[in-house]
Structure 1
Amino acid sequence: MVVEQRFLRYAIFLASLLLSSLSSLNAQKGNYNSTAYLPASWINQASKSQEINGTDETTVLVLPILLRGSDGPRYVCGFYCNKVEDQCLFGVLISQYTPNTDNYLQSPKLVWSANRNNPVQSNAMLQLKEDGDLVLANSDGTLIWSSNTRGKSVSGLNLTEMGNLVLFGPNNEPIWQSFDHPTDSLLLGQKLARGQRLTASVSASNWSQGRLSLAVGSASFSAYTESDPPQIYYLSGLTYPYCEFRNGSFNGFTIPLASVAQFIRFEPDGHLKLYQWGAADEFTEVVDLLTFLNDCDYPMVCGNYGICSRGQCGCIETTNGQERYFNEIKSRQPNLGCSLVTPISCDHSQDHTLLELKNTSYFAFHQSSDKIETLMEECKSKCMSNCSCKAAVFYYTDQLHRDLESKGYCLLLNEVFSISNNERSVDDTILLVKVQNTHVNKSRRKTVILASTVGALFGVVCVVGSCLVLLMRVFRESNETEGDFLSKVPGMLARYSYENLKAVTEDFSKKLGEGGFGSVYEGALSNGTKIAVKCLDGFAQLKDSFIAEVQIIGSIHHVNLVKLIGFCFEKSHRLLVYEYMANGSLDKWIYGGKEKQSLPWSARRRIITDIAKGLAYLHEDCSHKIIHFDIKPQNILLDQNFNAKVADFGLSKLVEKDQSRVITRMRGTPGYLAPEWLSSVITEKVDVYSFGIVMSEILCGRKNLDWSQIEEDRHLLSVFKRRAEEARLEDMVDKNNLDMQVHVLEAVEMMQIAAWCLQSNFTKRPSMSLVVKVLDGLVAPETNLDYDFTKPSAVETGAAGDQGREAFHIASPLLPSTLSGPR
């Protein structure tokens, strides 16, 4: 009996050893599964990866998870890693099956990746979870990518014979597939549908998304740069409502018939190339599908501001010999482009000038629908008056009779890419490039010095005079009665007694809300007009401050500002009477309860514009510049027609119109404060920053800080930064509102405006009047944006940083205004 047991154990051992050997042999020959069922997980282990020498002299590691194909094209799904830098992508690779070899994967090419903008490291994990979600997490557990299929009845993961990675359901129906989320390549049989695009990588060694895209629109197929607006360098019609990579053709292009593995790749330089498995057992370029374009017709052939001449790159050269405006970024790599010696400053627009480059052409001009018919001088004027304009392209309609009165077509550019130099042409476009002059002539300097001296003397006289007037006023007011004081308040404001307001508010029984300086109550005048009464706390002794600000704020009238209609100044009682806003504050409509669901896209867009117009008026159109300091949804009120009005000036500071900055103590609401509060150098741009946050909350339908979210999504600005880097801003649009999802593309465009307002460097934020123009479609927004919205600004605060502009500093503490609107 013992002998039989020993024999049985030995037989089992031999069988297991044989199975292990067969399994190893099958792995070498590529007999991996093409399907996995949930739950399943895979760890990116370098020890189990196959080492492959890349064509760009880099060494890559491939760890297969699924494999498909035993004859002809072979597809692998797995980890694809740069061995030196330990950066890995989860994706799909294409290769060619070679018989009579133990190497199951030869010279593969990556044709799809899930995390191209966010590589993982060794020991990262891919999981096909029980809930149906396919997720990729880094070695430290950080979530990197998800298929977002949680709860969608996923049964498994399959790599098809076409190289399509599919999450399938109980009936083998596709629930998610990689073909619907293309990166930079197309496989045979794959369609590029309407609204989809290919986005080139930054370079052969940098896998992240670059700025060139190839997209299918409603009626066209175009290649363009990701600027704002996009600059198109190739445009064609559609053979079908989609572009399909067929055997022998692609959207009208004739390509070689596929007898071996093929794929199309949109390259970092903007070329669209077909690759095919060759005799050298690797992929080689067969045809460039955009060969009819010249070498200089590609946007980044010579980089930003680069001049392309017969395939050679250089910088724009000035003709007057007085000043150099451009430098090569790298002298040994002229194709990387050029940079401005002095960046264009919106604060010194008087020093802008346009360089006129003749016999040039610009790739985006003829394909653009944004060009307008006008005169050359008007074209120049439009660019000079718009700080976002970096250059203008002008083309005379009548090339034979060109003069100042001849019309042509004008295109304004917010960013300048490669320029083509047509040395043998005399009738092409004229490029007007904006530059910043750094020299100041002697006469101008003398004028500035003289004006500063006279201004200083005048200032001393004014200070002395003001002190005398103030002393006389204090002496006179000490003998005035309260009634005499108030009788000098000009304007149409009504004065109410405390008993009167107590009666109309039913003894302050209907509380609307509570602000920083008191509570707000609903009331009704004898004629039936509803009002909101704010009772201010702790201001019994601030007679001068209270009456001065009633006088100023009461004179402000704008459709997008809550109107102050009266006040009470009686003994210790300080009350303000405002117009009543039927729909209350904005916060409950964008992230509170069921009401949020009913606020459609059109209303949200109008509210954003209304807020911008109200702030623009406070900053630029009042007799005093008024900085609000506390822009947030609770301080935006909605009337019965959902028109938005800015309320609660309780933290505002009146600033003279010729003062550019103010130093004061920190004030406002945490979560809406601009980074420059850390430096205590404050301008009206703190309101622009807060407006950017409110704008983001309106578009996303959530709070800036939401503790109900997972840790990495609690801060809206962090999500904004991450989604912008992933080019997935559409994922942030309010998902709980169907109308917002219908207008998701428009909402994403407005997010770019919000990002402009959220620049951490306050000098790069637009003014509110410029924001209004952008919202009205009159001006294009800035596109060169930094999405790290919360880092402290490094802007200089001294005289050098101001370059001649006066910085206004307040040494003593400022009393906050108490004119707070209802909440």
Structure 2
Amino acid sequence: MPLASSAASCVTSPPPTISQRVLNYSKHKEAPQGRNLLPWDSTETGNNANSTSLTLEDSGNLVYGDWQSFNHPTDTILPNQTMNGSKGTTFSQSKNGKFKLVDWKSLVFRSSSYWSTGNAFIMLEPTGMVTLETGATLISSDFGEENKLRRLTLDNDGNLRIYSFDRRANELSVVWLAVHETCTVHGTSGDNAICINDASNSDLTYCVCPPGFKLNASDHESYSCEMKTPWKNNGKTKFLRLDYVNFTGGSNQTDLKVENFSICQSKCLADQNCKGFGFKYDGKGYCMLQNCNRLAFGYWSPGTEIAFFLRVGSETDESNFTGMTSLFETVCDVTISLPELPDESNTEDRNIVIICTLFAAELTSGVVFFWGFLKKYIKYRDMARSFGLEFLPAGGPKRFTYAELKAATSNFSNPIGRGGFGDVYKGELADHRVVAVKCLKTVTGGDAEFWAEVTIIARMHHLNLVRLWGFCAEKGQRILVYEYVPNGSLDKYLFPASQGPSLDKIVEIYPRNTDVPKPILDWNIQYRIALGVARAIAYLHEECLEWVLHCDIKPENILLGDDFCPKISDRIGKAEEKGRHG
């Protein structure tokens, strides 16, 4: 195995402290007999004038003169290793030799292909992106993340995966794979067997024999099955229905388009070599005949949309692959006996009077209780309207008292911003949450407008919107309690410190040295900020229960969190609510 594959599978080792390692070996014109893989003799070393350097590069490529390991791929491909057309090599092979990536675009078991991209792989980029020959790309789930070591490997189970090693967490994980249903990989199950992928089982992938078959004990390489009672030509046979089962191989598999199910069945009965047929109940008449001596690459999956009808002899086995196409037996025998009628008595009139009296009493009490409930409801509804409580959804922002916010902000002694709508103070709640307390000076439109704005913000929950934790509305005070965003607004990072703020933005106050310039944001962070702001705007315009127009998107109203995650703020007095059908 070339050293490129070994290096890729050992990414847990710490990186070297220098750029490359160099070993000197005596060069021969031809590789010694029995050592035709590498063009050197490791038994002879020296430092004479004819020696050639054996170099292991940072990329994992082992170079010796004109020979390099990247031109001899095995089961593992490293970043920047060219795949398509490298020195005439057109495939990568798994360690067990069963599976190949032929022409760098098709996964093949023996001569049977079970996955293909249509475009040949060119190179695995260090960022986790695979480039294809037409310019198309495949992207891993951790694309672009730094401090990751990646490799593309054709594993022994026939699946092609991209592995990513996180050097900080010391963890190896799969970030891309070609085949999502393992059972569809050819060779997972043996002849006449069915592969099942079931998350409820401890072994996610396992094989079973279909009804009428038993395990082939003579096959020690794979899980294969054989008929319990082989049926002979012109013998009596029947079909067992296997829902969601498909056999995708066989040298003589025939795909037909027929008018109905009966025609597909009759064509299989007419051929003594037909082991079964598959049929789709989609109205298109898809019929697949298995005219071969074995059923290959069988698997169960609801995604197949196929019912396979297995041909067996005089077997008593019943199919357990019923899916949802069979009716369950839900009728059971129940014996019902009615009591005999009692003898007539003189107490009949008395019983009727008692029943009528009880009914009248229950009806009267029900009316009284309903009237009391209605009066209470009207009373509390009026109270709720007077305090604005009916606007708040269940689980919405908390209503704080003025005393609580006064204690949280140390009597409003730590201002962090001032603006046209009011002052902002930093505080800490009783549960140790750090918050920004915004004391509104005046609210346009009065209390009704204030409650309407609070209701709009309470309905919005998004990662890129500043979260409203609560509010205070007492003693003539109108206060909003937001989550605290530590890195301030975006304009401090985009514009010089000498540039004056706009008239309606919040002016941030920094208790320490205000002359220290903010760091310049690199393009990656600026891209993340722009993407987050776009997601927030899309949420306001398209995904809210009520459409909301912010009307004032600018750097001063975009706050940055610890990881520079953008959060849009300052929606009070600026947001405009639009109905879904308005």
Structure with bigger helix share is 1
Greater Rg by CA: 2
